[in-house]
Amino acid sequence: MNQNELKKSLSKLPLGDVKYFESIGSTNDEALAWAANDTSDLSIVVADEQTAGRGRLDRKWFTPPGTALAFSLILRPTAEEKPHLTRTVGLAALAVAQSLRTRGLEARIKWPNDVLIAGQKVCGILTESVWSGEDVDCVVIGIGVNIRKESVPPVETLQFPATSIEAELGHSVERLEVLRDILAAFVNLRPSMVSDEFITQWEKLLAFQGQPVQVDSGSTPAVVGHVTGLDSDGSLRLRNDHGESIIVRFGDVRLRPFA
Ligand code: BT5
């Protein structure tokens, strides 16, 4: 991958500016700094390697060189989109999941910010907002996708099993084609983000639908219940053993199957 190949591959998509780095700390950090300079909507930072890739709460995200996709999109929301920005992570997850499904992979979304194949994490998403007073000026959407087997972190460092696209497909794929497909899916889906139908589409690809899960949030006791769907803002709906409906809001939550 290099700047020319990247620009050529993305040239037909309605994106903003494109920045490529052979190696960088974190594409989200670069995009957050860039966004402060009136960068146009859908500008993108792509890196071959991240040396300080971040997950939520500054957990580490592993991106060794030549093995994965690590990129950050700058979304400048329209006035119509602004009331629906809690759906942004769903928009990114749906774009990734749909594009993997067109390759024959059974991708599902583990609420709130992961994409799984066969119950294993293949993609993590980190959204961060840039505020201007009381208003969100833009959202940086960081997406990491494991392409080659070498992009999967050592198993002893993981709390949730992980996989890569090539391990699941059993053959090699072009990283730039995967990137282009994800971005094309994102652009196609974006207009629907403001509609109720968007939540239905997101629900259809939720992992663990109808199954028991445990959600840990660190501060409050863990919540256990069966997944029933999503609220209109993208919060997760569960039903507990007493038949009560529970809404789990976004935040530093971890979801796993409940045995
Ligand atoms: C995430 O956080 O899953 C969000 C990851 C976002 C990464 C992208 S890459 C481009 C952009 N630039 C950045 O700096 N970040 C974004 P979280 O749900 O907190 O999960 C983090 C956990 O996933 C770690 O603690 C590890 O256990 C695990 N992990 C780390 N690297 C992984 C990988 N390559 N594949 C699967 N799991 C991984």
Give the per-residue SS3 of the chain.
Answer: CCHHHHHHHHCCCCCCCEEEEEEECCHHHHHHHHHCCCCCCCEEEEEEEECCCECHHHCECCECCCCEEEEEEEECCCCCCHHHHHHHHHHHHHHHHHHHHCCCCCEEEECCCEEEECCEEEEEEEEEEEEECCEEEEEEEEEEEECCHHHCCCHHHCCCCECCHHHHHCCCCCHHHHHHHHHHHHHHHHHHHHCHHHHHHHHHCECCECCEEEEECCCCCCEEEEEEEECCCCCEEEECCCCCEEEECCCCCEEEECC
Report pLDDT digits (tens) over 194-239.
Answer: 999 999 999 999 999 999 999 998 777 889 999 999 999 999 999 9
For the segment 183-203, the average pLDDT, to the nearest whole number, is 98
Q: Ligand 1 centroid to 235 CA: how many Å?
A: 21
Q: Ligand 1 centroid to 55 CA: how many Å?
A: 4
CATH no. for 212-257: 2.30.30.100
Residue 151 CB less than 6 A away from ligand 1: yes
Report pLDDT digits (tens) over 34-50.
Answer: 999 989 999 999 999 99
Taking the domains of the chain in order of start, what are their residue ranges?
3-204, 212-257
For the segment 151-161, the average pLDDT, to the nearest whole number, is 95
Say what the pTM is. 0.97
**Nearest ligand 1 atom, CA 50:** 14
The domain covering 3-204 belongs, at the CATH homologous superfamily level, to Bira Bifunctional Protein; Domain 2 (3.30.930.10)
